[in-house]
Structure 1
């Protein structure tokens, strides 16, 4: 009985991994992956300008140093995402959950962040010229100047 349960679990876990590979392939080939699960995907140093990743599960995704100008992340879950050094100029991050995300030295110029959650996020050294922000949750958030913002705790 235990052996057959292990076989079934192994088959389901392989199946889930295959879906993630399909999502990754779709993103890289079509530059869109709406409603995808790309948890922990290694997408550092990629050119994903204008990509649609809205309503996706992107926990612990690695987008370090990636080109993400004009990308859509609306309603995405990006807990613990690594966006260090990424270029997010003009990106849409409305209703995005960026809890404990690494946003060090990101370029967020002219990005839009309406009702996003930045609890525990690190924005040290980030550029935010012209960034549209409204209804943001700041709690233990390290701001670009290195100061901690707890205004929404």
Structure 2
């Protein structure tokens, strides 16, 4: 009986995290986050949370798909298994954030500060990581897909188990400090 309950819970959780949501944010959840800096398992789709100070916030397993988090400070936040599908995190600070298993598919992270973030098994497929700071990030078994890492800094990042074959690298600082330019447009002569 316990095994069946765990299976049902796992299926429901998987569906919630990997199925594109079709509902908007719940105002009570936004209010709870703003009042307590904690809102695990909250529905915050399409919420405007831009330019907020959410350092050390607990948003574990929250749904923030298509939310506006431009310039928001999420330093050391708990974002484990959080869904950021299509969210705008441009210029956000996610330094030392716990993002293991987070879904950042198609997220806009241009210019974001992700240094020393823990993102093991996160989905960064098709994410915009142009000019992102990923120094020292732990990215074990991350899904990159066709993520754009043009101008990103991956110095000392741990990319073990990551398939980089389709990701875009142009003027990208790799973990060893070398510059990768394999995806740069051809320069005219």
**What are the residue-to-residue correspondences of 1:4-153 with 2, within 5 Å?**
16-19=23-26, 22=29, 26=33, 29-30=37-38, 31-143=57-169, 144=172, 145-148=180-183
> Structure 2 regions of 5+ residues with no counterpart?
1-22, 39-56, 173-179, 184-189
> Structure 1 regions of 5+ residues with no counterpart?
1-15, 149-153
Aligned to 1:9: none
Segments of 4+ in structure 1 off by > 6 A? none
Residue 20 to residue 58, structure 1, CA distance change in 2 (3 Å): farther
The answer as to whether partners of 1:69 and 1:89 remain within 8 angstroms in 2 is yes
Aligned residues, how many? 134
Q: Which moved more, 1:56-65 or 1:134-143?
A: 134-143
Root mean square deviation, CA, Å:
2.2
Q: Report the structure, 1 or 2, having the larger helix content.
A: 1
Q: Which has the higher contact order (CA 8 A, sep 6+)?
A: 1
The answer as to whether partners of 1:85 and 1:103 remain within 8 angstroms in 2 is yes
* TM-score, normalised relative to structure 1: 0.80
Distance 1:44 1:140 in 2: 26
Report the secondary structure of 2:159's partner residue.
Answer: strand
